Amino acid sequence: MRIFAGAFLLSLLLAHAGAAEGEKADAVLVVKSEKRLYLLRDEQVLASYRVTFGGDPKGHKVSQGDQRTPEGAYVLDYKNASSRYHRSIHVSYPNAADRKHAEGLGVDPGGDIMIHGQPNGWGWASLALQLFSWTDGCIALSDRDMDRVWEAVDPGTPIEIRP
Which stretch of 75-79, 109-113, 149-153 has the lowest confidence by average pLDDT? 109-113
* 1 in any annotated domain: no
- Mean pLDDT in the chain? 85
The total number of structural domains that make up the chain: 1
Q: Is 41 among the domain residues?
A: yes
pLDDT, tens digit (0-9, with 9 covering 90-100), for 6-63: 334 434 444 445 555 678 999 999 999 999 999 999 999 999 999 999 888 888 898 9
Highest mean pLDDT among 47-56, 59-68, 70-79: 70-79
Question: What confidence score (pLDDT) does residue 57 get?
Answer: 80
DSSP states of 68-91: ----EEEEEEEEETTSSBS-EEEE
In a domain, residue 141? The reply is yes
d(CA 74, CA 1) in angstroms, rounded, equals 9
CATH number of the CATH domain containing 95: 2.40.440.10
- What number of other Cβ atoms are within 10 A of residue 162's Cβ? 12
Q: Return the amino acid letter for 146.
A: M
Mean per-residue pLDDT, 101-127: 84
Parent domain of 118: 6-16+25-162
pLDDT of residue 79 exceeding 80: yes
Strand order in the sheet with 72-80: 44-50, 36-41, 27-31, 157-162, 72-80, 88-91, 114-116, 139-140
